[in-house]
Structure 1
Amino acid sequence: MPGEIPKHPLCGGGCTVTHDRAYFDDADAVVFMMKSAKRNDLPDPKKRRPNQAFVWWSRESAWTAKYLYRKSLDDFDDYFNWTMTHRRDSDVNGMLYPFVARDFVKTRLKSEDQRKDNQEMEPKIRDVIARKTGVVAWVASNCALTEGAKQRFIVVQQLQRLGVGVDIYGHCGNLTFGSKGFYPTLADYKFYLAFENGVHCRGYITEKLWFNAFYSGAVPIVWGPPKSDVEEIAPPGSFIHYDDFNSLEELAKYLKHLDTDMGAYTKYFAWRWKIPGYYPLLEHKNHFDNAFCELCRFIKGGVNQVSHKTVPSLKKFWFDADTDDCLKMFVKFYPKWK
């Protein structure tokens, strides 16, 4: 992820990211990726400068770290200063979402001025809705690599058998985007399956929600993360969660209802004109990776304090604090997760 982090207040004024190890001694933070970090290949922590942070970074779920990459994390006690992951209890919020401050959405929703309908956004949104021709889209290439990926594929196939029109792009399907492109294609659909590859893994919410659904202008149907985790960060009334339904049949019936009732379907877009300018439809800008934006802000705010802080047990933080569903090696499929 080399490059310059934007000189934006939300990013602490800007930082430089490099893979060049020649800058190791001068770096304010050194980031170690979960899947490649090996204890016998890491720098001696005694040589770390007092105001330099060693950061453990993971973009994957706890299940993937434990079973796919076979990480035990037993040998990292008191080695790293900070954690940077999708979990909100990490030191640095490494969730992949647009370039905004944490809780920006909820802050804006509390403002009475922002509750007024925006005359420019509402017609644009209604026009986008009127041009939709597909029902449900799903983009996936991991069909069975993780246990969660297997389970979500079962859910998708069951929805298709129940008569829900799900078009599958990527290696798990046979459709391609062609010359139209990724986001304009997804914009033609009313719904997007924001299905993660982990089962109830805490905070594991990725670009499937933020970009594939919200940016394209599709209503996300969320499967994987606990609903409470999604509610903490997504605008109220902006998504459908799998756990709200007692069965797949009930979910399929609801989607068919929304497909034919434009009034009910349009309610899932009401938040967009209450928060003008947020998640603009059909506009995917090249945001710098949010994790490093947050890290830059964190560095500027407290790097001089790192000498007295380490993560006592990475194993307890990453594995022991996640849910039982997330860390099961094999999961028997149930129509509804509890």
Structure 2
Amino acid sequence: MKSERPLGRRTLLLVLVALLCSEGLFYALYTPSAQTPRCSDGTSNCNHSKDDKSPAGRRTPDRSTVVLIWRWPYGHRAGLQSCSKLFQIIGCRLTADRREYDKADGVMFHHKDVQGNLSELLRMRRPPLQKWVWMNMESPGNSRRRAHLDGLFNLTASYRRDSDVWVSYERIVEASEDRQKAFKIPPKDKLVCWIVTHWNMRFRRVQYYRELSKHLTVHTYGGAFERPLGLQEYHSVMSSCKFYLSFENSIHKDYITEKLFNPMRVGAVPVVLGPPRENYEELVPAGSFIHVDDFKSPQELAEHLVFLDQNQDAYERFFRWRQHFTAERSHLSLEHACRICDHIKRHKVYTVVKSLSKWFWG
């Protein structure tokens, strides 16, 4: 057999050149260029504008989440202040301009406005990724039930703590040292007060008031008693009373409104009629209010209020919570919109409210 000849110098040089060329080609194809920076997602397209106007169906990573307020609740138009300034929510933009409908990530619909335009909503085209949010701060007893709402919305926003987006009417928050020192119980010249406009003899609050007023004097104001008050008078009268009847117009789970928080803020002790005491204690300190259900009858409650009127130390115990906390007013419609936006920004999963009627009205 003929023996193999060793490779010549020329052949060896050609092999080395070929290897060097292939290495350079591999480096050029597979190594990121210093002129093309890579983004965190592995792509090279890092120029996402923060003012991107892409529709909700084609969301880009860095643009603000947009929520359209279909109609301001009760026509009370609020300023579109920054969600970051009021609620420390970043990356959100609110609009009331319906021309931005196709660009909105979510649309907030107030229940009272929906019930009069339901047929319009059922015909509307919706971008694939856009979420419709049902918003309501009224109780089931004050909200018209509509079966066609089932399956129409993606999220709920209300006073109910089991809503997708929960917003309390008002809240108790930690007070600054200055506010703790500043609070003084206002001067009092009335024992019990009640300011009310909506009067209905079937309401439990009306029936309870009529029995209670047989045993002590209740100073009454508002449209129901033909003694309307302006905003300044409203707070002035309330603060001049030792006790204020914080009676809700209907009794439902979590339905605890400004009727509780207003007297707490101005320095009166609320006497509440609404959901059970346990529900109230989830929102405010247990010793900050009196619940009518703690007494066997309106007469027994009246006797207790008279006792507290005659015992200042016992009365002042209802204000101990002010050593650490204060009552904070809410920006209801605006806060709903901001917290809806924050929820949509943080939750990208598919959701639908299949039975709004059963959940809310039972």
1:76 aligns with 2:149: yes
- Separation in structure 2 between the aligned mates of residue 59 and residue 125 of structure 1, nearest angstrom: 32
- Separation in structure 1 between the aligned mates of residue 335 and residue 230 of structure 2, nearest angstrom: 32
What is the TM-score with the length of structure 1 in the denominator? Answer: 0.75
Q: Contact 2:80 / 2:334 at 8 angstroms: preserved in 1?
A: no
- Structure 1 runs (4+) deviating above 4 angstroms are 14-18, 43-46
2:27 matched residue in structure 1: none
Q: Contact 2:165 / 2:343 at 8 angstroms: preserved in 1?
A: no
- Separation in structure 1 between the aligned mates of residue 361 and residue 343 of structure 2, nearest angstrom: 28
After TM superposition, the structure 1 = structure 2 runs for residues 229-248 of structure 1, keeping only pairs within 5 Å, are: 229-248=279-298
Question: What SS does structure 2 have at the residue aligned with 1:184?
Answer: helix
Tell me which amino acid in the other structure corresponds to 2:79: G
What is the TM-score with the length of structure 2 in the denominator? Answer: 0.70
- Separation in structure 1 between the aligned mates of residue 192 and residue 94 of structure 2, nearest angstrom: 38
Question: What SS does structure 1 have at the residue aligned with 2:287?
Answer: coil
- Separation in structure 1 between the aligned mates of residue 334 and residue 160 of structure 2, nearest angstrom: 15
Tell me which amino acid in the other structure corresponds to 2:80: E
- What is the CA-CA distance between 1:15 and the residue it aligns to? 5.1
1:206 matched residue in structure 2: 257
1:311 aligns with 2:353: yes
Number of residue pairs matched by the alignment: 283
- What is the CA-CA distance between 1:119 and the residue it aligns to? 8.9
Indicate which of 77, 80, 89 corresponds to 1:4: 80
Over 3 Å counting, the alpha-carbon distance change for 1:135 and 1:174 in structure 2 is: farther
1:90 matched residue in structure 2: 163
Indicate which of 179, 182, 195 corresponds to 2:234: 182
Indicate which of 173, 184, 189 corresponds to 1:125: 184
1:138 aligns with 2:194: yes
Indicate which of 291, 301, 305 corresponds to 1:251: 301
- What is the CA-CA distance between 1:197 and the residue it aligns to? 0.6
Note the alpha carbon deviations across 1:202-248, whole angstroms, 9 max, x for none: 1111111112x112211011102222211101123111111111111
- What is the CA-CA distance between 1:40 and the residue it aligns to? 1.4
Q: Contact 1:11 / 1:294 at 8 angstroms: preserved in 2?
A: no
- Separation in structure 2 between the aligned mates of residue 307 and residue 41 of structure 1, nearest angstrom: 26
Question: What SS does structure 2 have at the residue aligned with 1:3?
Answer: coil
RMSD (Å), alpha carbons: 2.8
Note the alpha carbon deviations across 1:53-90, whole angstroms, 9 max, x for none: 2111112111222xxx3x2x321222111111111001
Q: Contact 1:81 / 1:306 at 8 angstroms: preserved in 2?
A: no
Q: Contact 1:92 / 1:295 at 8 angstroms: preserved in 2?
A: no
- Separation in structure 1 between the aligned mates of residue 320 and residue 360 of structure 2, nearest angstrom: 37
Over 3 Å counting, the alpha-carbon distance change for 1:222 and 1:179 in structure 2 is: closer
Q: Contact 1:11 / 1:297 at 8 angstroms: preserved in 2?
A: no
1:13 aligns with 2:109: no
Q: Contact 1:97 / 1:207 at 8 angstroms: preserved in 2?
A: yes
Q: Contact 1:45 / 1:79 at 8 angstroms: preserved in 2?
A: no
Over 3 Å counting, the alpha-carbon distance change for 1:271 and 1:309 in structure 2 is: same
Over 3 Å counting, the alpha-carbon distance change for 1:233 and 1:36 in structure 2 is: same
- Separation in structure 1 between the aligned mates of residue 100 and residue 178 of structure 2, nearest angstrom: 51
Q: Contact 1:192 / 1:221 at 8 angstroms: preserved in 2?
A: yes
Over 3 Å counting, the alpha-carbon distance change for 1:234 and 1:21 in structure 2 is: same
Question: What SS does structure 2 have at the residue aligned with 1:303?
Answer: helix
1:297 matched residue in structure 2: 339
Structure with higher Rg: it is 2
Q: Which moved more, 1:227-236 or 1:33-42?
A: 33-42
- Separation in structure 1 between the aligned mates of residue 264 and residue 231 of structure 2, nearest angstrom: 21
- Separation in structure 1 between the aligned mates of residue 94 and residue 277 of structure 2, nearest angstrom: 34
- Separation in structure 1 between the aligned mates of residue 178 and residue 78 of structure 2, nearest angstrom: 40
Over 3 Å counting, the alpha-carbon distance change for 1:43 and 1:21 in structure 2 is: farther
2:249 matched residue in structure 1: 197
- Separation in structure 2 between the aligned mates of residue 253 and residue 45 of structure 1, nearest angstrom: 59
Over 3 Å counting, the alpha-carbon distance change for 1:295 and 1:136 in structure 2 is: same
